[in-house]
Each structure stands twice: as C-alpha cells, then as structure tokens.
Amino acid sequence: MNRLIGLFIVGLLAAGLSLGEAGAVNPDEVLDDPVLEGRAREISQKLRCLVCQNQSIDDSNADLARDLRVIVRQRLVAGDSNEQVLQYVVDRYGDYVLLEPPFKGITYVLWLGPAVLLTVAGAGLVIVARRRRKAAPAEGLSEDEKRRLAQLLDDGEEG
C-alpha cells in the first residue's frame, strides 16, 4: 500500500513538472517554423500579461495574453523583427507591457527608487548610531541616592 502511494506521489510530481515546462501556449498558437516559434517564445517572455501583471504572456492563461501571443506570431509571420514586434505592442499598450521597462525619464523612479531608498535608510542608521554614541554619559548617583541604595542593600542582606 505504501509503495502504491509513493508511486502515486511520484506520478503527480512528474505531471506537475511537465505542465510547468509547457507554459500557457496553446497547440493552435504554435508556428510551423521552429525558428519563428523560438523567436515568438522569446518575445512573449519579455511581455507582461496585463491581467496577471506578474506573469509573462508566455506563462499566462488569460484571454488577453493569448490574444497578445497570437499578435506576436502574426507580426513575425508578416516579417517583422523582434524589435518591431515589441515596439508594435508597446505602441498599443505602453511601456508597462514590458516586464523590464526601459531606462528613460518616466521610469527613473522605478530604476533609481530602490537605490535612493537604501541610501537614505543607510544614512539614517548612521546618524542614529552616531547620536547614540554621543549621548551624554549618565550622571552618578547623588549622596542621598547612594545612602538610600546602601540602606536597601543592607536591609536585603538582613532579611
């Protein structure tokens, strides 16, 4: 019985791995020319699914992603270069459709924002650390406090 369960689990894992490799491209979308199909897959992996947002259109099952995959293949069959196909899609959907947006004026915040935030946070930590070191040393106990402390310690030893 345990062996049967083990085989079942291995079968499920193998099936899951093979499905992950396939991506979301439907058989009716695949081009006959393997070179064009390879280019189409390469381009599709650079384009964001506008429905899923964190997936490429190559990995997404959304209808819009399928439509974009078909457009990419149609443009390639029409003779467009990879750059022309990407530009065609960007012209219609904007730079947001690219998984790696270009480095230009509008996207400076995307590219430089994390570095600026880390720099500001690091500077803040340095300032806080320096202020803590420069903090005035604690004053000693006054004579009254020393007497009271001695009295409490003596009371503690007796009782």
Residues of the domain holding 113: 108-158
Q: What are 33's two structure tokens?
A: 């020319």
Q: What band does 20 get if pLDDT is binned at 50, 70 and 90?
A: very low
27-51, pLDDT tens digit by residue?
Answer: 667 787 889 899 999 999 999 998 9
**Cα separations (Å) of 105 from 62, 97, 111, 117, 120?**
31, 17, 10, 18, 22
So what's the pLDDT on residue 18? Answer: 46
| Shared-domain flag, residues 95 and 61 | yes
- Gap between the Cα atoms of 89 and 50, Å rounded: 12
First to last CA, the chain: 70
Other Cβ atoms less than 10 A from the Cβ of 29: the count is: 15
CATH label of the domain that carries residue 40: 1.10.8.640
Q: Indicate the angle between helix axes 34-44 and 82-93, nearest 10 degrees.
A: 40
| Shared-domain flag, residues 52 and 35 | yes
So what's the pLDDT on residue 108? Answer: 76
Number of domains in the chain: 2
| Shared-domain flag, residues 28 and 82 | yes
| Shared-domain flag, residues 76 and 130 | no
Higher pLDDT, 109 or 73: 73
| Shared-domain flag, residues 92 and 22 | yes
pTM (whole model) above 0.85: no
Is there a domain that residue 7 lies in? no
Higher pLDDT, 132 or 107: 132
So what's the pLDDT on residue 6? Answer: 62
Is there a domain that residue 29 lies in? yes
Average pLDDT over residues 7-33: 64
